[in-house]
Amino acid sequence: MRVLQYEARRPAGGQCPPCSGVSGVSAAIFTGMTAAPDHPNRRWDGSRNTAHRSRSLHLSPRASTRLLRCGQPGRCRDCGNAIEWYYRPDHRPVPLHPRELPAHTVPERRRWHVAAGLAYPTADGSAWCRLPHAALCPARTPIAELPELSGLRRALAARTRRLIDTGTFTPTPATAEPAVCRPSRPVVQILGIRYLAARPVEEIACLARATTTRARCRRTLSDTERPAGIWRLLPATAMVGQLALPTGLLMAVYDLSALPGTEQLRWRAQRCPLHTHATAEMAMTDWEPFEPLTHREHIHTRLPDSHPTARPGTRHPRRCTHT
Task: For the chain, give the percent of residues with pLDDT over 90.
Answer: 24
The residue ranking higher by pLDDT, 38 or 235, is 235
Positive/negative CA dihedral, 29, 35, 41, 46: positive
- 251 and 195 belong to one structural domain: yes
pLDDT of residue 58: 58
Decide if 12 is inside a domain: no
Residue 143 pLDDT > 70: yes
Decide if 161 is inside a domain: no
- 320 and 209 belong to one structural domain: yes
pLDDT of residue 127: 94
Domain boundary among 138, 159, 174: 138
pLDDT of residue 31: 45
- 257 and 322 belong to one structural domain: yes
Domain boundary among 108, 138, 168: 138
Decide if 35 is inside a domain: no
- 188 and 322 belong to one structural domain: yes
- 114 and 227 belong to one structural domain: no
Domain that includes residue 198, residue range: 183-306+314-323
Residue 35 pLDDT > 70: no
Decide if 18 is inside a domain: no
pLDDT of residue 50: 72
How do residues 255-304 score in pLDDT, each as one tens digit? 999 999 988 998 988 888 887 766 666 666 788 888 887 788 888 888 88
Task: For the chain, give the percent of residues with pLDDT over 70.
Answer: 64
Residue 307 pLDDT > 60: no
The residue ranking higher by pLDDT, 129 or 284, is 129
Decide if 289 is inside a domain: yes
Decide if 273 is inside a domain: yes
Secondary structure of residue 162 in the 3-state scheme = helix
- 194 and 268 belong to one structural domain: yes
- The enclosing H or E element of 194 equals strand 193-196
- 193 and 321 belong to one structural domain: yes
Decide if 85 is inside a domain: yes
How do residues 101-123 score in pLDDT, each as one tens digit? 999 999 998 999 999 888 999 99
- 195 and 321 belong to one structural domain: yes
Count up the domains in the chain and report the number. 2
Domain boundary among 138, 163, 192: 138
- 191 and 286 belong to one structural domain: yes
**Among 57-61, 84-88, 187-191, 207-211, which range has the highest average pLDDT?**
187-191
Which of 97-101, 153-157, 234-238 has the lowest average pLDDT? 234-238
- 101 and 203 belong to one structural domain: no
pLDDT of residue 68: 54
pLDDT of residue 245: 64
pLDDT of residue 93: 76
- 109 and 191 belong to one structural domain: no
pLDDT of residue 6: 43
The residue ranking higher by pLDDT, 57 or 273, is 273
- How would you write 234-284 as a 3-class SS string? EECCCCCCCCCCCCCCEEEEEECCCCCHHHHHHHHHCCCCCCCCCCCECCC
Beta strands per DSSP E along 76-158: 82-87, 93-96, 101-102, 113-115, 118-120, 128-129
Closest CA to 142 of 130, 128, 157: 157
Question: 306, 314 in Cβ contact below 8 A?
Answer: no
Reported as a pLDDT band with limits 50, 70 and 90, residue 318 is very low
Query: Average pLDDT of the chain?
Result: 75
Residue 26 pLDDT > 70: no
pLDDT of residue 43: 72
The residue ranking higher by pLDDT, 113 or 1, is 113
Decide if 159 is inside a domain: no
pLDDT of residue 59: 57
Cβ contacts of residue 132 below 8 Å, gap of 6+? Answer: 94, 95, 96, 97, 112
Positive/negative CA dihedral, 256, 258, 259, 261: positive
pLDDT of residue 28: 45
Report DSSP state, residue 131: -
- 189 and 302 belong to one structural domain: yes
Task: Please tell me whether the overall predicted TM-score, pTM, comes out greater than 0.75 for this model.
Answer: no
Per-residue pLDDT, averaged over 146-169, amounts to 92
Reported as a pLDDT band with limits 50, 70 and 90, residue 41 is confident
